C-alpha cells in the first residue's frame, strides 16, 4: 500500500501512525528522554489506548492551541531525527528529501520491529501538517532537544 499510495496528486498518500491515531496525544515536555516511553512493543498495542489516556498531557483535540500543535510537530520532528540518526544536523532539506511514509516504515522495521518487535511511537498527524505546510511550519516548530540513542 505504501508503494501505491505515495503521492497526494496521483493515487493519494498514505500516512501511518505508529501504533495508532492516539499517538498524536502521546507527548510530554521530555521528548524521548526515556526510550521506553518513545517505543511500544507489538504485544502491548492492545493496551496502548488505555496507556495514552493515563499519561497524555492533553486528551481533547478541540482544546489544542497553536503552541500545543507546535510542540506536537516538534516532538514528531525530533523523533524522526532520532529514527534517521540525524540528531545534530537535521534540517528541512534532509527531511523533505528523506523522510516520507515509506522510509519511516523501513526505518521502523530495521531499527525496532525486526530487533525487538517494537515501534517508535509516531503520529501521522504532524507528518501530514509538515508535508502539507512545508518549510515554514517545520522551521517555526523545530527547536532541537536531545533524544536517546534507540539502538540500545
The answer to whether 14 and 8 are in contact (CB under 8 A) is no
Residue 145: what pLDDT? 54
3-state DSSP: the chain helix, strand, coil percent, rounded to 5? 55, 10, 35
pLDDT tens, position by position, 123-135: 999 999 999 999 9
Whether residue 38 is contained in a domain is answered as no
The answer to whether 100 and 138 are in contact (CB under 8 A) is no
The answer to whether 108 and 18 are in contact (CB under 8 A) is yes
Higher pLDDT, 108 or 140: 108
Could you give the number of structural domains in the chain? Answer: 1
Host domain of residue 122 = 65-147
Name the residue with cell 510530554: 28
Residue 151: what pLDDT? 45
Residue 94: what pLDDT? 94
Residue 26 has pLDDT above 60, yes or no: yes
User: 3-state secondary structure string, 81-146?
Assistant: HHHCCCCCCCCHHHHHHHCCHHHHHHHHHHHHHHHHCEEECECHHHHHHHHHHCHHHHHHHCCCCC
Residue 43: what pLDDT? 95
Residue 152 has pLDDT above 50, yes or no: no
Whether residue 17 is contained in a domain is answered as no
Written as nine digits, the cell of 55 is 499519561
Whether residue 85 is contained in a domain is answered as yes
pLDDT tens, position by position, 43-91: 999 999 998 888 877 778 788 898 889 988 988 998 899 899 887 788 9
DSSP tag of 39: E
Q: What angle do CA 34, 46, 55 make, to 5 degrees?
A: 40
- Rounded CA separation 78/75 (Å): 5
Whether residue 1 is contained in a domain is answered as no
Q: Across the chain, what does the average pLDDT equal?
A: 85
Whether residue 92 is contained in a domain is answered as yes
Amino acid at each position: 500500500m505504501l508503494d501505491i499510495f505515495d503521492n497526494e496528486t496521483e493515487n493519494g498518500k498514505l500516512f501511518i501512525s505508529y501504533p495508532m491515531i492516539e499517538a498524536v496525544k502521546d507527548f510530554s515536555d521530555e521528548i524521548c528522554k526515556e526510550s521506553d516511553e518513545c517505543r511500544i512493543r507489538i504485544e502491548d498495542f492492545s493496551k496502548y489506548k488505555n496507556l495514552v489516556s493515563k499519561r497524555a498531557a492533553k486528551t481533547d483535540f478541540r482544546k489544542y492551541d497553536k503552541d500545543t500543535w507546535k510542540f506536537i510537530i516538534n516532538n514528531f520532528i525530533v523523533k524522526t531525527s532520532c529514527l534517521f540518526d540525524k540528531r545534530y544536523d537535521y534540517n528541512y532539506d534532509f527531511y523533505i528529501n528523506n523522510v516520507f511514509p515509506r522510509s519511516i516504515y523501513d526505518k521502523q522495521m530495521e531499527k525496532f520491529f525486526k530487533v525487538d518487535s517494537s515501534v517508535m511511537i509516531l503520529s501521522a498527524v504532524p507528518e501530514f501538517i509538515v508535508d502539507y505546510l512545508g518549510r515554514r511550519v517545520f522551521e517555526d516548530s523545530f527547536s532541537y532537544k536531545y533524544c536517546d540513542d534507540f539502538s540500545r
